[in-house]
Amino acid sequence: MELGIQGRTALVLAASKGLGRASAIALAREGANVVIGARTAKRLEQTAREIGAETGGDVRYLPVDVTDPAQCAAIYDFACKEFGKVDILVNNAGGPPFGPVEQFSDDDWHTALELNLMSTVRFCRLALPSMKAVGWGRIVNILSLSVKSVLPGSVLSTAGRLGIVGMAKLLSDEVASFGVTVNNVASGMILTDRVRQTSLRQRLEQGMDENSALEDIAKAIPARRIGRPDELAALVAFLASDSAGYITGTTIPVDGGIVRSIL
């Protein structure tokens, strides 16, 4: 399917690996110029090289910690300098720690809200003036299934991400008439390093081998398997496309059916 974003510029955050990396690949494959950011320079540089080689796309990078407002502004300015403007913004970050609600201090809350909620607010604020001025823009926020269905222990993540859902809905309403859409993708269980270091590791520590551990995780998923990053990235690229211009203010799960709510 021709997505109509050839020559558009995408800024993809937290994109040295996992869901961000896969989203950057999907966008580059569609002919978008891509700028990726994450904290670790060496891996970021390698990822940019790999995506360029795999897609033939023009991929640039700048290290960024999305919790630092000055660094957010720096990568946004860098993208504009490299490619003229940012048409597509993919907000993504790491995930906060898991634990029971009463365990977390004010500092834990502040850190988590900076990581997910405030980074998204800041990047939207940076990108909107130019998107509105040119009359075209796509904002896609990568969230979690926890905004749709209880994910035990995920309070720091869920509270911030529900803030993003609320902000994105209000924002979509404010900017729809400028040709700018704002949507969320709610990730189910997708095999990335984050899952390898959490759900998978717990099972390996219990003595399961990797295949049994993956099968055990998959039991709770109607599709009976863990998703692949490219399956989520395909939706990110579609929501970023010209074809998706009439879809805004939504939150769409990519989860193999694990979210059990009907609406």
How many residues touch ligand NAP under the rule CB under 6 A: the total is: 30
Tell me which stretch binds ligand NAP (CB under 6 A): 39-47, 98-106, 177-185, 210-218.
39-47
Locus of tokens 């988590």: 112
The answer to whether 175 contacts ligand NAP (rule: CB under 6 A) is no
User: In angstroms, rounded to a whole number, what is the distance separating the alpha carbons of residues 141 and 183?
Assistant: 6
Q: CB-side exposure of 206: number of CA atoms within 13 Å?
A: 11
The answer to whether 193 contacts ligand NAP (rule: CB under 6 A) is yes
Closer to ligand NAP by Cβ: residue 67 or 248: 67
- 150: three-class secondary structure by DSSP: coil
The answer to whether 75 contacts ligand NAP (rule: CB under 6 A) is no
Q: Which residue of 23, 33, 172, 187 would you call a contact of ligand NAP, by CB under 6 A?
A: 187
Tell me which stretch binds ligand NAP (CB under 6 A): 37-45, 202-210, 217-225, 236-244.
37-45
Q: Which residue of 125, 169, 194, 225 would you call a contact of ligand NAP, by CB under 6 A?
A: 194
Pairing verdict, β 59-61 and 33-36: parallel
Q: Least Å distance between CB 68 and ligand NAP?
A: 8
The answer to whether 67 contacts ligand NAP (rule: CB under 6 A) is yes
- 37: three-class secondary structure by DSSP: coil
The answer to whether 195 contacts ligand NAP (rule: CB under 6 A) is yes
Burial class (CB in 10 A: 0-12, 13-18, 19+), 39: middle
The answer to whether 92 contacts ligand NAP (rule: CB under 6 A) is yes
Amino acid, res. 112:
A
Query: Interface with ligand NAP by CB under 6 A: which residues?
Result: 14-20, 38-40, 43, 64-67, 92-95, 115, 142, 144, 157, 187, 189-190, 192-195
